[in-house]
Structure 1
Amino acid sequence: MKIIELEPGDPRLISDLLPVLQELRPHLTEESFREVYEEGHGQGLRFSAAYSDEGRCVGAAGWRIVVNTSTLRSLYVDDLVTAATARSTGVGRELLAHLQERAREAGCHHFVLDSATHRTDAHRFYLRERMAIAAFHFMKPLD
């Protein structure tokens, strides 16, 4: 498996990464994804893609380095998804290891992600990977 960072404008963002990301974020269109990455890149948003030995994109992660009063400096994962056809093959574990190494290289104190309450399979995975449930994430739609 090979994990690479995809920069804005890289055609693999749309051809390879987006279809995998849409398994987690089905509301994303090509246009909305481009808009999010164009604006988000300036805020530190990055995307990593995991490729199988056959050259297929089998995992995707959106992440950023954040500095705040809670965790000081951390790597925050916006999106982490393994293609349905590649689940339970080690892709998620490899992506987590890759991102945690990036966090260490960036001098981060913590590795943070949110997982929707209905994603119980993901929760089991994160707990197996020795992650702790440290907070609740509250959200309110604005009119």
Structure 2
Amino acid sequence: MTTQHTINVAELQGEDTALAYEALRELRPHLTSVEDFVEIVRTQRREGYRLVGSFDASGRVVAVAGFRHMTNLYSGPHLYIDDLSTLPSARKQGHAGALLRWVDEEARRLGCAEVHLDSGVQRHDAHRLYLTSGYVIPAHHFAKRL
């Protein structure tokens, strides 16, 4: 018999921002302090960045998604997911999928027809999740370090 639990997803604002640090640090290990993380998020929020957390049964944020509402000539209004990360102990429990569904609903609410994200080429488990969640790979992302 499998025990099912409800996954709670909620937007993190203000002082709740710090709750996302541990989960996001899995993806962004260069973030070395909660204080620096909160300050960076505060700066990004001025550019439209938002955070959503997925909570385990104890109320701890175990997965997080950071995203922005954008408009580009090639796709019009859409949500762009900057960050999606789950603590190793909470993987394969549905948290990332719940966050993706939450972002989809928010995109629809905002009148967006698409959600976009980039993912490192080595993140095979994440790619499986994205593909089974309806994402496609329409392009390659190029970057140049200056």
TM-score normalised to structure 1 length: 0.91
Q: Please show how residues 1-143 of structure 1 align to structure 2 within 5 Å.
A: 1-7=7-13, 9-10=14-15, 12-14=16-18, 16-29=19-32, 30-142=34-146
SS of the equivalent of 1:126 reads: helix
SS of the equivalent of 1:131 reads: coil
SS of the equivalent of 1:64 reads: strand
SS of the equivalent of 2:26 reads: helix
Deviation at 1:48, TM superposition (A): 0.5
Aligned-pair identity in percent equals: 40
Whole-Å separation in 2 of the counterparts to 1:127 and 1:38: 31
* Counterparts in 2 of 1:140 and 1:32: CA distance versus 1, 3 Å: farther
Instruction: Specify the code of the residue in structure 2 equivalent to 1:24.
Output: L
Aligned length, in residue pairs: 139
Q: Which runs of 5+ in 1 are unaligned?
A: none
CA offsets per residue over residues 32-54 of structure 1, 9 Å max, x none? 32332122111100001111122
Task: Indicate the RMSD between aligned Cα atoms, in angstroms.
Answer: 1.2
CA offsets per residue over residues 51-90 of structure 1, 9 Å max, x none? 1122121110100100110110001000011111111111
Please say which of residues 83-92 and 31-40 is displaced more in the overlay. 31-40
Structure 1 segments of 4+ aligned residues over 6 angstroms from their partners? none
Q: Which runs of 5+ in 2 are unaligned?
A: 1-6
Whole-Å separation in 2 of the counterparts to 1:116 and 1:60: 17
Instruction: Specify the code of the residue in structure 1 equivalent to 2:21.
Output: L
TM-score normalised to structure 2 length: 0.90
